[in-house]
Amino acid sequence: GTHGGVFLDEGYRLSLNGLNMGEVQALFALPAGGPLDDLGLTAGHETILLKLLAALPQLQQREALRLRQRLHIDPTDWFRHAEPTEWLADIQKAVWADREIEIVYLRNDGQRSRRRLQPFGLVAKSSIWYLVARQLDGSWRSFRVSRVEEVIITETSFDRPADFDLATHWSKATVEFESRFDQPHSASLVRCRLRREFLWLFSSSFSGQMDILTDPTDDWVVIEVETYWPVEMMLRMGDLVEVLAPDWLRAELHEAALGIAARYEPKNNVE
C-alpha cells in the first residue's frame, strides 16, 4: 500500500509444521476420558484439540472433524467398575516431582506392608492404574494403585537414569509377569454350542481365534475356539455353553461339575 508493510490474511492458517493427513488423524483419534479423567486432564485434552483444530488448514480441519464423527476409542472394559483412586493424585505429584514416597500397600495375601519407593511412572492398563517404582534396594516393582491405602510424599529427591523409558520398562515387565504362569505346550481346539444372544459375551471373554461354524442367525450357534485353558474357560461360562468336542474335555467338565455340586450341596439343619 501507500505506506508499505505486511499483513496476515484472515484466511491464513498455520500448518503446524507441515502435519500430513495421517498425522492429523492419529492426533485426533486419541481417546479422552477414562485414565485422563482420573488425572484431571480430560478438559485440557479437549481444549488443546480445539486449539489445534483452529490452527489447521481447512482441508485438514474437515478431515479431523470427519474422523471424530466416525471413530471413538473407549479405553474401558465391559462391566468393569472404576477402581478406587484415592491416592492417585498424591502419587502423581510425587512422580512429577521425582520425590520418594512411603506407602501402605495391601498385598495379595491380605497383609499390609509399609514401603519406601522411588515412583518413576504411572501406567493405565485398560482402566486399572499401576505405579512403576524402584525400591531402595534397587529392585523394580509395579503396584496396583487401588491397593495403596496411604501415601506420604517425602522431601527426598531421586535421580532418574537418563536412559529410562517407561513404555519399554512396562512392556518388559508385563512379559516377565506373564511368563511366570505355566502354559501348556499346545492349544486345544474346542467345539461348542451356545445361544446366539450369548455369543457376544463369549467373544468378549475369550481373546483367541473363534470361528462360527453355523448360521450366526440361528437360535443356537456352533463355534470352534483354540485355547490353552479349555477347562477353566468353559467353567467360566457355566451352563451358557455346551461343549461338543473333544470328549476328554466333556469328561473333565463333568467331573468338575460333580465336584462343585458336592461342595455346594445344601446341608440339612439338625435341631
Based on the fold, state whether residues 175 and 209 are members of the same structural domain.
Answer: no
**119 and 166 assigned to the same domain:** yes
Q: What is the DSSP letter of 4?
A: -
The pLDDT of residue 85 is above 80: yes
pLDDT given for residue 64 in this prediction:
81
pLDDT over 90, % of the chain: 38
SS3 at position 54: helix
The answer to whether position 92 is within a domain reads yes
**Residue 79 falls inside a structural domain:** no
Same domain, 174 and 213: no
* For residue 63, pLDDT beyond 70: yes
Domain assignment of residue 227, yes or no:
yes
Same domain for 193 and 144, yes or no, is: no
List, in sequence order, every residue forming a beta bridge with 101; answer none if it has no partner: 117, 153
Residues 64 and 93 in one domain: no
- My answer on whether 129 and 93 are in the same domain is yes
CATH at 211: 3.30.70
Pair (154, 94) in one structural domain: yes
Q: Is 270 within the bounds of a domain?
A: no
Residue 205 lies in a domain: yes
Residue 38 lies in a domain: yes
Query: What gap in Å lies between CA 75 and CA 40, rounded to an integer?
Result: 16
Work out the pLDDT band at 166, boundaries 50, 70, 90. very high
Same domain for 135 and 196:
no
Domain with 26 in it: 21-70
C-alpha span between 87 and 89 (Å, rounded)? 6
Q: How many residues are given for the chain? A: 271
Look at 144-148, 159-163, 183-187, 219-223 and tell me which has the smallest mean pLDDT.
183-187
Whether 144 and 120 map to the same domain: the answer is yes
Strand order in the sheet with 128-135: 140-144, 128-135, 112-125, 99-106, 148-157
Residue 75 lies in a domain: no
**Do 216 and 170 belong together in one domain?**
no
H/E stretch holding 199: helix 199-205
Residue 136 has pLDDT above 90, yes or no: yes
Does the pLDDT at position 134 exceed 70? yes
* C-alpha distances in Å from residue 268, one per residue of 200, 253, 271: 40, 27, 10
Which residue blocks in 56-134 are alpha helix, DSSP H?
Answer: 58-70, 88-97
Residue where a domain stops, chosen among 130, 160, 179: 179
For the question of whether the overall pTM of this predicted structure is more than 0.75, the answer is: no
- For residues 168 and 96, state if they share a domain: yes
Centre a 10 Å sphere on the Cβ of residue 201 and count the other Cβ atoms it contains: 15
d(CA 256, CA 254): 5
Indicate the Cα dihedral angle 185, 186, 187, 189, nearest 10°: -150
Tell me the three state secondary structure of residue 191: strand
Grade residue 99 by pLDDT with cuts at 50, 70 and 90: very high
CATH of the domain at 172: 2.30.30.520
Number of domains into which the chain is organized = 3
32 and 102 in a common domain: no
Say if 139 falls within a structural domain.
yes
